Structure formats: structure tokens, C-alpha cells
Copies of this chain bind each other. A is one copy, B any other.
Amino acid sequence: MTMEFKQVTRNFGRKQVLRGVNMTWDAGQLYGLLGRNGAGKSTLMKIVNNRLFPTAGKVLLDGKSVTENAAAQNRIFLMSAATLYPGDSRIAQLFTLTQQMYGRFDDQLAAHLVQAFGLDPHQRLRKLSTGYRTIAKLIIALCVPCDFVMLDEPVLGLDANNREIFYQELAATFAKRPRTFIIASHLIEEIENLVTHVFVLDGGTITLDEDVADLAVKGRVVTGPAALVREWLSGTCVLRTVQLGGMVTAYTLDAPLEKPLPTGVSVDGMDLQQLYLELTRTGGGPHVD
């Protein structure tokens, strides 16, 4: 069970938002999809879900294009900021509607989540606050029978208590019924402990595709006099370099730790939030120094 992106490109008028995205989503994984505002995360997810079509390239589910493929689409779900449901519907009606569309729906989990979040299932969608509208959509996303569930900013407008409930409930349902979640979120430090693999989308392509465990082990911040840092790192892939006067800070997953460290150069660990910020600053992106 695999979702493959092959050179996926999407233009809006003259603007190229995605320029040849290659990526693979495997079965039973928790992926984080990171990227700046406007990087194209939502565009990418909408292409998987046929709300948009690619200008070029393909998305394949088990080798078959997902585009206008009803069988594939029945295995894919996208929860996003856009509300496609009729606003007058009551929450319980949306659950029934979803069941009819996807054939199954985890009623038991829905009942549990409604209580955990304190959502009134008899309320109409349009009468809910911003946060509770997100909660209603989240509950649906966790109860559909789909193999690939994309969550585009799942905690938009949620308070700290409800964000915590969501992270716990997602981990619980994932443990009970493994399927693949793809989570696009700007609260990196909150999803850092939830996801097992991250993709960074920047400048229209995937600039990072790594297991979180590897990032924690391999990520290094190297600081020191520019000439010494450059020499020590020569031949390695540096994700980003920031120079201030004669001093340089370099971010790498590939530090040559076996080489002796020159005096004045220090090497520290890197957290995901820090790495992400560096990767997506204007002018960022990996390069070999």
C-alpha cells in the first residue's frame, strides 16, 4: 500500500507552485509535512484528493493514478480548512453522510471523541465556533475507514487543552488501527513527538525527506570561524549556512564527526523546530558547500 508522487508539478497561471515533487507515503506511517505559508502543502494534498489536478506528473496509489480514480479516492481522505459540508447540517448528520460516502464509519470512536472534546452532535455546523468547527472535521477524519488520511492544519483554532486531546486521540486510534496520516502543521514542536518521518516542502520541491529518529541523531549545528567551518565540512551536504561577520553557523545532517574538530569550532545537536526554521527561511534549501 504505497502512494507515490512522480514529478508532480502544478502551475497557477504563470506561478509554478509545485515543480517536480517526488515523495513516497508508505502504509501505517505518521508523516509530518512541513513548509512555509504558501509553500504548496495544501495544493499537494488537494491533488491527491482530486480537488485539483496536476499540471504535470502523477500521483500513484499502488501503481495506479489517483486522478479521476473512484476506487483510489475512496481510500483517501482530506481534512482541510475549507468546509465543503452544507453549513446547516447537524454534526450527527455529517457522520451519517460520511458513512454513506465511504461505506463505513467508526461510530464508537466518534461517540468517544464527541464526549472527549465536549462537542454537541445536535448542533449545526455553521453555529459552531472556529475551534469547534475544526473539532467536528477532525472527528470525521479520525473515523473514516480510509488508508490515507491527510490532515491539513488539524489544530487550526484549537485551544491548548483540545490540541492535547487531539494528539492523544490520534496516537490512540493509530495504535489500534494503523493507517497512514499526513499532518501539515505549523506547530512543529507539538507534532515533533507524534510523527515518525518528515517532509519539508520549499520552493516547490521536497528539500527534506527523513525519519525523525535520524534527524535527532544526525542533525548538527556547526559554529565557528568561517574558514575553519568550511574546511571541516568540505565535501558534506550543508542544509543551510548563516554568516555573521567572520563567524559561520552551518546546519547539516552529515557532519564528519570522525575528523578532528579544529579549535574554535563547536558542534551541537539540532531540534526539528530549529532545523525547519532554517530550512524554510528565505534563501534556504540544501546545497553542497
A42/B129 contact (C-beta < 8 A), A158-B186, A159-B36 known: yes
Q: Contact check, B161 vs A281: say whether CB atoms are below 8 A apart.
A: yes
A38 within 8 A of partner (CB):
yes
Please indicate which of the listed interface residues A158, A159, A280, A281 has the most CB atoms of chain B within 10 Å of its own CB. Answer: A159
Q: Does chain B have a CB within 8 A of A130?
A: yes
| Residues in chain B near residue A244, CB distance under 8 A | none
> Which B residues are in CB contact (< 8 Å) with A130?
37, 42, 81, 153, 156
B161 engages A188 (CB within 8 Å): no
Range for the number of chain A residues in contact with chain B: 20 to 34
A135 at the interface (CB under 8 A from B): yes
Q: What are the residues of chain B within 8 A of A280 when measuring CB–CB?
A: 159, 161
For A37, the chain B residues whose CB sits under 8 A away are 129-132, 135, 157-159, 162
Q: Bound state CA distance, A12 and B129, in angstroms?
A: 12
Q: When each residue 146-163 of chain A gets 1 if its CB lies under 8 Å from chain B and 0 otherwise, what string results? A: 000000010011111111
CA distance A273 to B273 in the complex (A): 20
Shortest distance between the CB of A123 and any CB in chain B (Å): 9
- Nearest CB in chain B: distance from A158 CB, A: 6
- Contact indicator B38/A161 (Cβ below 8 Å): no
* Contacts A37-B135, A38-B129, A127-B12 given; does A157 touch B161 at CB 8 Å: no
Are A81 and B157 in contact, with the CB atoms below 8 A? yes
How far is it, in angstroms, between the C-alpha of A128 and the C-alpha of B17 when the chains are bound? 12
The 8 A CB mask of A264-282 against B (1 = contact, 0 = none) is 0000000001001100111
Q: Is A256 an interface residue (CB 8 A)?
A: no
Is the CB of A178 closer than 8 A to any CB of chain B? Answer: no
Near B by CB (< 8 A), chain A positions 137-174 give 153, 156-163
13 further A-B pairs in the complex, CB-CB below 8 A; given A12-B127, A81-B130, A156-B156: A36-B159, A36-B162, A37-B129, A37-B131, A37-B132, A38-B128, A38-B132, A118-B282, A131-B186, A157-B186, A159-B186, A160-B186, A161-B280
